Chains A and B, each alone.
Chain A
């Protein structure tokens, strides 16, 4: 299964590399949200405090485009069915795609964070590895359930509308934890709250990465 997971991951990254317009589209989408929010904010002080939240709003909205496209590629010539019949273990398909979706989102996050420093005057008063931890686990928390729901809605009409309707309520706790954690790392964390938020994110990931992997076979197989 590990070999197949890595093969699926490699294929996903190859597709992203061959059509780089997708990831650049995601980046510009998230960047547009960050810039618009900067103009809407009443003062620089407020803007600085909101930086963490705005980052995660941008990433959450951009993720729906990324997840939708991830399965659109599979549906064009029925490739997802081809994977099942080849056969590739459905768990390998899930973990390969979820890892790729997480990596894509993480790349967008890493490109957006410097904008927050430049435009919002945000700074990291806490530890940079902890900030990276929030970015990694936050993106993963969107990536795993997003891949599962992406698979569910891929075969339905209006999948781009259905995906956020299903995904957003589920990932709200994780996005709240990521936003709050990012903010305390940026603003300073005298009360040591960051560890609790990071713990919540890790627990959310542990549950969703294991359960989504188990359920994915039911999503993509007939019967």
Chain B
């Protein structure tokens, strides 16, 4: 996998109606960086993550992925980004194996569904539709889905939500495995204690702005 480029977030702002969810955020993510976004609910961390994922177009400022504007070149850059969103991007009527197969086919990627499901602690023989799975199992399946890709930028929105302690450890292990390939990581969470093991930097957000940043070990 090629080394990921530096990501520059430059005076990024995004509003919903009259309210600015992210207001003039500037930061830089060097290749292979691992950054935790934290803050209270509504502080703007998920919106910032969605802008990085190209799900939202910035209203002011922008993001550069290396030398390229992320939004303008989104079609070329999207294959390099894996995004575990708050919504899990799964099909409820399909089985877990079907979901992996469907997403692999869509991307023209090859994936060993059984191996991926086993990796995230799911039983590959289980053939129930996804709607029959628990919230934690759905989140594990969503994690397996992003493992289909070999991303340069990994974006995780509340990856520990709905997971038991084993599940949280699994996320840490899987993310470390992906980081070892040099992938840049941005993780949004309001539970920083679980994320501190995989993120060397932390950013605290409030009302759409960065109010603190530094090494994750110094998080206030």
Q: Which residues of A contact B (CB under 8 A)?
A: 3-4, 7-8, 10-11, 14-15, 18-19, 73, 76-79, 81-88, 222-223
| 30 A-B interface contacts by CB (under 8 A) | A4-B106, A4-B108, A7-B102, A8-B106, A10-B102, A11-B91, A11-B102, A11-B105, A14-B94, A14-B98, A15-B93, A15-B94, A18-B95, A18-B98, A18-B129, A19-B93, A73-B91, A76-B92, A77-B90, A77-B91, A78-B85, A78-B87, A82-B85, A85-B53, A86-B106, A87-B74, A88-B107, A222-B55, A222-B57, A223-B57
B78 touches A85 (CB 8 A): yes
B20 proximal to A (CB < 8 A): no
Interface-centre pick from B56, B75, B98, B105 (highest chain A CB count, 10 A) = B105
A79 touches B91 (CB 8 A): yes
- Cα–Cα, bound, A217→B107 (Å): 18
In the complex, given contacts A11-B106, A78-B89, A86-B107, what are 10 additional A-B residue pairs having Cβ atoms less than 8 angstroms apart? A10-B102, A11-B102, A14-B94, A18-B98, A73-B93, A77-B91, A78-B85, A85-B54, A86-B103, A88-B106
- Cα–Cα, bound, A3→B102 (Å): 12
Residues of chain A lying within 8 A (CB to CB) of residue B95? 18
B30 proximal to A (CB < 8 A): no
- Cα–Cα, bound, A15→B107 (Å): 18
Closest to B98 in A: A14
Q: How far is the CB of A160 from chain B (nearest CB, A)?
A: 18
Closest to A221 in B: B57
Residues of chain A lying within 8 A (CB to CB) of residue B56? 222-223
Interface residues of B in 123-153 (CB under 8 A from A): 129, 138
- Cα–Cα, bound, A126→B35 (Å): 70
Task: Specify which of A7, A18, A81 is in contact with B93 (CB 8 Å cutoff).
Answer: A18
- Cα–Cα, bound, A83→B102 (Å): 11
Chain B's interface size range is 20 to 34
Residues of chain A lying within 8 A (CB to CB) of residue B71? 223
Interface-centre pick from A3, A11, A18, A85 (highest chain B CB count, 10 A) = A85
Q: How far is the CB of A93 from chain B (nearest CB, A)?
A: 9
Residues of chain B lying within 8 A (CB to CB) of residue A84? 55
Prevailing SS type, chain A contact patch: helix
B105 touches A7 (CB 8 A): yes
Q: How far is the CB of A74 from chain B (nearest CB, A)?
A: 8
Interface-centre pick from A7, A83, A86 (highest chain B CB count, 10 A) = A86
Residues of chain A lying within 8 A (CB to CB) of residue B98? 14, 18
**1/0 contact trace for B80-120 toward A, CB 8 Å?**
01010101111111110010001101111000000000000
A81 touches B75 (CB 8 A): no
Residues of chain B lying within 8 A (CB to CB) of residue A88? 106-107
Q: How far is the CB of B178 from chain A (nearest CB, A)?
A: 17
Closest to A6 in B: B105
Say yes or no: A79-B106 contact (C-beta < 8 A), given A14-B98, A85-B78, A222-B56.
no
Q: How far is the CB of A80 from chain B (nearest CB, A)?
A: 9
B55 touches A85 (CB 8 A): yes
- Cα–Cα, bound, A222→B54 (Å): 9
A3 touches B108 (CB 8 A): yes
Residues of chain B lying within 8 A (CB to CB) of residue A223? 56-57, 71
Residues of chain B lying within 8 A (CB to CB) of residue A82? 85, 87, 89, 103
- Cα–Cα, bound, A73→B88 (Å): 13
Q: How far is the CB of B151 from chain A (nearest CB, A)?
A: 11
B78 touches A81 (CB 8 A): no
B88 touches A78 (CB 8 A): yes
Interface residues of B in 55-74 (CB under 8 A from A): 55-57, 71, 74
- Cα–Cα, bound, A77→B88 (Å): 5
- Cα–Cα, bound, A18→B97 (Å): 13
Residues of chain B lying within 8 A (CB to CB) of residue A76? 90-92
A87 touches B87 (CB 8 A): no
Closest to B87 in A: A78
B42 proximal to A (CB < 8 A): no
